[in-house]
Amino acid sequence: MSIALKNVAKTYPDGTKALQPTDLEFRAGEIVSLLGPSGCGKTTLLRLIAGLERPDAGSSIHFDTDDVTRLPVEHRRVGMVFQSYALFPNMSVLANISYGLKMQKLPAAEIRARADEVIKMCQLEPYANRSIDALSGGQRQRVALARAFAPRPRILLLDEPLSALDAALRDKLRDELAALLRRFKITAIFVTHDQDEALAIADRVAVMRNGRVMQIGTPEDLYHNPRVPFVAEFVGHAVELCGTVEDGKLNTPGGRLALPRTDADYQVYVRADDVKLSQDGSLRGTVESVTFLGTHYRVGVSGVVQGLLYANHTGTTPPKPGDTVRMEIAPEALLLLPRERHAA
């Protein structure tokens, strides 16, 4: 089921513009993540698609050719996984999963068969008759997903499905969730503030800020070709290199850096992965912090940008805090982005 949003906006009664007028298309069967910091409008957008919020006048939402703009949530046939999972505490696991099927007034035998099928898919067989209180966080998440998916919804919506779990479990369940969503073969939209989660699960990611979609694209596309500084900062934690441009080079407080082109006014960003420590690098700074991260050291260097410029160093002997180091950045690794208007 494809989804088309045209001119969809949401203003709350107190005047807050949670979502600016937005046009978006989701293709049938793709998994899209809405990524952004809290308060960026991603959850509002998800709730508008679900039908849990009413959009402003002039908005239109279509599922394929079906206009659902005015359809209340109970008639939209969407599956939703809530951040807190919102499992019904008065029902067993099986009853939770069967609830949507019961609402469709299917015969009892078919409800049972379809619930069993989903329970098997989500590997919940041993827990079917348990009460919700007797489940772990990861099991609850799977029950929430199974409950949303059992009635065969047209689309699946997930609101921060992993944020209620502790960090160790989150990484494991992230891959599990991605695999399950692919097996479901359903159009899925999920909201997250965690870029790793978005990049790992989604086919496409929409980065949002202040009620606007800043950029939408594949994870690779967003990472390698951010179109605005915010996307570069939010996806992959790029930092800005400030300085004056002179003869095709950037003069930073730490030294001169070759630029790939100098045709227009832009901001220069770089990621820690692309900053290399090297004896004959053109930038110089003082090591402030060294953190061992298993596969590499994260070295924080002062004197080049405001604050610390981080370099990921893969050698076995890291520099020590206080050392003066030289660094180089390949010109093609620099991200040149149009200067951000500070109106928004």
List residues near another protein by CB under 8 A. Answer: 50, 52, 72-75, 77-80, 82, 84, 86-90, 99-100, 103-104, 147-148, 151
In the complex, least distance from residue 184 CB atom to another protein, rounded to whole angstroms: 16
CA distances from 89 to 98, 106, 130, 147, 303 (A): 14, 23, 11, 13, 56
Q: Tell me, what amino acid is at 257?
A: L
Coil, helix or strand for 315? coil
Q: Exposed/middle/buried for 333, CB within 10 Å: 0-12, 13-18, 19+? A: middle
Coil, helix or strand for 139? helix
Q: Which C-beta is closer to another protein: that of 101 or that of 334? A: 101
In the complex, least distance from residue 79 CB atom to another protein, rounded to whole angstroms: 7
In the complex, least distance from residue 155 CB atom to another protein, rounded to whole angstroms: 11
**Is-contact 263 310, C-beta < 8 A?**
no
Q: Which C-beta is closer to another protein: that of 105 or that of 342? A: 105
Q: Exposed/middle/buried for 291, CB within 10 Å: 0-12, 13-18, 19+? A: exposed
Q: Which C-beta is closer to another protein: that of 80 or that of 186? A: 80
In the complex, least distance from residue 80 CB atom to another protein, rounded to whole angstroms: 4
Query: In terms of Cα–Cα distance, which of 249, 243, 244, 254 is closest to 304?
Result: 254
Q: Which C-beta is closer to another protein: that of 15 or that of 89? A: 89
Q: Which C-beta is closer to another protein: that of 104 or that of 291? A: 104
CA distances from 69 to 6, 72, 148, 151 (A): 10, 8, 21, 21
In the complex, least distance from residue 37 CB atom to another protein, rounded to whole angstroms: 22
